[in-house]
Structure 1
């Protein structure tokens, strides 16, 4: 592909009050349209445009190409706020961080990608890795790739290729334009419906070699965000979605519990000892997991900013904080569901959104239960037993 096919992009508002107002506007629109997004099973490109105006899609573009890279905590707090309204949209917004992968591309390629502006929405359907035909100057790619979250609103798409001698056996990501591939609408799920994580299908698409990269490969740009552990960040931006979902669920049960009477006309649910204690414990668990999550993020970011070496133990703590956030957040949402009682079983109940979506992040390969063991192994100086960990 060539990047000439990428359309003129929506640009972020100027940093400061205008951009902050754009973010609040996007949140207001999301509150009114989240049911629509879930029913149609994707976040539309015009809403991605609102998030671009809020700066979320230049947050990982290198400064040398006009980006305004955000520190991970600041970016993830934005994702968390989106997720507290609709976790599935939060999941899509989290990929505003994914341009860090592009730092492994040749500088000339990056310059072409950002020529139309730094606000780029990227989505990748990387698995299963497909064997491409090596030809002069690049690859002929065919196959179907699953789980391309946000593909319906992306400017660029990634597909996964098996690695060869040219990549030392490491898998490659090949960049294609949406016009070159088909989106196979197979996203039929109970949770995270609005992520639109459909499959991508290509039929003998040529991809120049300079439009391929190794995910997590050596960056060609030295900026603080390119020094931050890229694979750990990929896990973190997904985990923070669960923290947002948990926040939304707890806010709901707190609001209901503060009501004067229950739906039956009896004592308000909040007056019940189990409700008060359950809400308090869930609040403490959420805040504790969140504190660990952001604390280790800021510790490692400080080292990245100073250009100091980041140890494997610190990378493992980033991964541990992400896994713990996803699992604790899921438990908190289940606790909120329990407090809500029988009414929460109805599909139109507000907690159903958080319940269905919050179950998903901890199922992701980067956040599954086994990553607890892998983090513990690294902290003990042992082999993690999981590829590309930490």
Structure 2
């Protein structure tokens, strides 16, 4: 019998090989991306080949829905090689953010194919002067991760009475914006999280949407809480970075001899115990994270809706994973001795990458309070919790 790529087993092996090839290329280019401060567009095209930028495209426009846990595991795997690239790839999930964009506009957005690279810079809220057709947009926005390779970019503009006070997002092609390459940071150096500037850009009302508004796409993934999914997609980058640090500590760092003649790290009880504690902490937080994602998805594909309690677990597990991951990398650095203080050592870069996700507003310590309030039957204590 002749096997073709129509056979699921062969297709799976081919997909795995492609993923491995992309990761091998990433390992060779991650320093390049950090130095230039963004992931090159041609490499983002390689990520498209993995299906990451059609995983959240509506199926009616050619998307190939990937269950959230599967997508998140792919981002985690990329982040184990390079956190910045994992961060940029994670935005493949955020097309669900556009669920309240008019269907006609979505049809036009995906007219050339389902692999659309999205970037957004939502704060500070810009100016939007109403016109007959829409808005004249002006402003400067920060943190436009992945904008150098984006096919479409969203900027934040004010809401009004028609949006119940919720802000709007305005979509526009990248060439209508100026990209200011200001990004001098200690971690996630290659994300290209540059500033965007709009000067009297005309945006039709049909290319704006209410952020957090009701989706017009009737598919399970578009009933998954959009902001929550964004939070998960950013958090899981931390887990990949922490995994890289642990792999280094176990496979490489454990064999290092001390310049003082002291026992190798692997021969020190505190080092072995510390690494074991870090493994337990990361695996526990990761298990909670994926358990919550799987439970919510099973509810949706079964025809239900994600409950407030389920959403609280999604938000809590995401914030918790980011913090535990950062703690794990910090612990490994503290166990690793003077070698880890050198700039050419792998751990300082991993530590910088691990520190960044937990600082994102979606993953702040306030999520613990908000989740606790929901668990006890109270309203969430932060806005945009779901």
TM bin, normalised by shorter chain, reads over 0.9
Query: Which residue does the alignment assign to 2:105?
Result: 109
Matches of 1:325 and 1:285, distance apart in 2: 9
Q: How many Å apart are 1:93 and its aligned residue?
A: 0.7
2:143 counterpart of 1:133 = no
2:314 counterpart of 1:342 = no
Which structure 1 residue ranges, 5 or more long, are not aligned? 1-13
Q: How does 1:38-187 map to 2 (within 5 A)?
A: 38-187=34-183
Deviations 1:324-353 (A, max 9, x none): 000000000001111211111111111122
Contact 1:227 1:307 in 2 (8 A): no
Matches of 2:193 and 2:360, distance apart in 1: 13
Normalised by the length of structure 2, the TM-score is 0.95
Matches of 1:150 and 1:335, distance apart in 2: 30
Contact 1:258 1:268 in 2 (8 A): yes
SS in 2 for 1:193: coil
Matches of 1:240 and 1:138, distance apart in 2: 37
SS in 2 for 1:194: coil
Query: Which residue does the alignment assign to 1:33?
Result: 29
2:360 counterpart of 1:364 = yes
Query: Which residue does the alignment assign to 1:323?
Result: 319
Which piece of structure 1 moves more, 21-30 or 190-199? 21-30
2:311 counterpart of 1:303 = no
Contact 2:97 2:227 in 1 (8 A): no
Q: How many Å apart are 1:79 and its aligned residue?
A: 0.5
Which piece of structure 1 moves more, 119-128 or 250-259? 250-259
Q: How many Å apart are 1:257 and its aligned residue?
A: 4.5
Contact 1:256 1:269 in 2 (8 A): no
* Cα RMSD after superposing both structures: 1.5
Which piece of structure 1 moves more, 96-105 or 42-51? 96-105
Normalised by the length of structure 1, the TM-score is 0.94
SS in 2 for 1:275: helix
Matches of 1:243 and 1:386, distance apart in 2: 24
Q: How many Å apart are 1:269 and its aligned residue?
A: 1.0
Q: How many residue pairs align between the two structures? A: 377
